[in-house]
Amino acid sequence: MPDTIDISDTERKRLRNERACRGRDRVNPDRRRKQNGIDYRGEVGIICYRCRQDLPLDRFRPAPRNKYGVDTTCKDRTRLRRYGITILDYRQMVDDQGGLCLVCGVNEATDVDHCHDSGAIRGILCATCNRGLGFFGDNPEGLRKALEYLEAHYGSH
């Protein structure tokens, strides 16, 4: 006897649409603030949705679709939620490495680099280097092959 249940195409479409709509049921923080009459413009910049502090715009990630062009949760709160580090931990790590990216050593260190398997923080990198590692899937062998390729074709047009 098969473990699967045979369902009609219309039922399958209904279930697919139901799964797709789940995300739409959550209320957008901007919409919730508007519904409750909350104005998140502060004296300094924007009031963070999570920590309720009035912070300058550079403390928020860009979000072009948002009303003010930035996310409603500050970077500090996002780092704490994603990586379990406070702003003091983050600043200490940046200071310990001289404020520069650990990979290129040129750009300002802004992004937390972490192992996707264990979640362990490896260091603070610039956005370009952090994304570059991510595009290679944190795979050292892939990076070695890319390096060999660049060295073989360096300067050739």
Neighbouring C-beta atoms of residue 55, cutoff 10 Å? 19
Q: What is the mean pLDDT of residues 143-147?
A: 92
Which string of b and e fits 61-85 if b means at least 16 CB within 10 Å? eeeeebeeebbbbbbbbbbbeebeb
pTM: 0.57
What is the token pair recorded at 153? 């074709």
Q: Where are the alpha helices (DSSP H) in 38-154?
A: 75-83, 87-96, 127-135, 140-153
**More confident: 64 or 43:** 64
**More confident: 149 or 40:** 149
Domains, the chain, ranges and CATH? Answer: 7-83 (no CATH), 85-157 (3.40.1800.10)
- The pLDDT of residue 25: 47
